[in-house]
Amino acid sequence: MEIRPLISPEDIEAKLAEMGRQITEDYAGKELLLVGVLRGAFMVMADLARHIDLPCEFDFMAISSYGASTQTSGVVRILKDLDEEIEGRDVLIVEDIIDSGLTLNYLIKSLRVRKPASLEIAALLLKEGIQRVPIDVRYVAFPIGPEFVVGYGLDYAGKYRNLPYVGVMGGDVG
Ligand code: IMP
Ligand code: MG
């Protein structure tokens, strides 16, 4: 399978540095609980966190993925819940990519009832204009088109997560 590079490691690094500075500024004087959505967000979580200059704790949730399909199923399942209580805490969800928005919409709803002091989203990628539910994403590194992308944590059928760049599946697409 051919993969056409879309976003370079250098551009990712620069954008995450900028995002980290913004988060540091926005949450000045506060402590942050970063919630990574497994598995795709593991890389952006690690790299973004290194640019956040605040007292941080880390937790992870695991959500069911599409399996081997590149289409959203709309079916969301929590495979692993948070270990931390989030009531009264400033929570920042870290996501790899927002496509239909269904995953995050579900996540946000299920976390909001636990009464965090604040609940915001930081995403590496946002597929522009194709969300099936309105979603308020506070931090976005790269708005992209509707193409299916892999690399930097993102998979196709479980593979390609280790690519240091983000690329588009299938050389002739796009
Ligand atoms: P949503 O619920 O449609 O917003 O999809 C969110 C999840 O689907 C992401 O966290 C990814 O795990 C996966 N996903 C969506 N689009 C892509 C893509 O282009 N490449 C790889 N995974 C994707
Ligand atoms: Mg994901």
Query: What pLDDT is attached to residue 1?
Result: 74
Confidence label for 173 from pLDDT (cuts 50, 70 and 90): very low
One DSSP character per residue, 86-141 reads -TTSEEEEEEEEESSSHHHHHHHHHHHTT--SEEEEEEEEEETT--SS----SEEE
Q: Which of 47, 90, 96, 99 is catalytic?
A: 99
How much is the pLDDT for 20? Answer: 98
Q: What's the rounded Cα separation, in Å, for the pair 59 and 53?
A: 17
Ligand 1 centroid to residue 111 C-alpha, Å: 20
**Residue 162 is inside which H or E element, if any?**
none
Is 47 catalytic? The answer is no
Mutate to test the pocket of ligand 1, among 93, 132, 154 (most ligand atoms within 8 A of CB): 154
From 1, 39, 4, select the one nearest 144 (Cα to Cα): 4
- Percent of the chain clearing pLDDT 90 (strictly above): 79
User: Does pLDDT of 12 surpass 90?
Assistant: yes
Task: Give the residue, out of 99, 125, 168, with the most ligand 1 atoms within 8 A of its beta carbon, to mutate for a pocket test.
Answer: 99
- Ligand with the closest atom to the CA of 65: 1
Residues near ligand 1 (Cβ within 6 A) = 40, 65-66, 72, 95-103, 148-150, 154
Task: Please report which confidence band the pLDDT of residue 166 belongs to, taking 50, 70 and 90 as the band edges.
Answer: very high
Residue range 69-124, pLDDT digits in tens: 566 666 678 899 999 999 999 999 999 999 999 889 989 999 999 999 999 999 99
pLDDT of residue 106: 87
Find the range with the poorest average confidence among 10-14, 58-62, 67-71, 168-172.
67-71
Q: What is the mean pLDDT of the chain?
A: 92
Hey, what domains does the chain have and what are their CATH numbers? 3-169 (3.40.50.2020)
Report the candidate in 14, 65, 155, 94 with the shortest Cα–Cα distance to residue 167.
Answer: 155
* pLDDT at residue number 66: 54
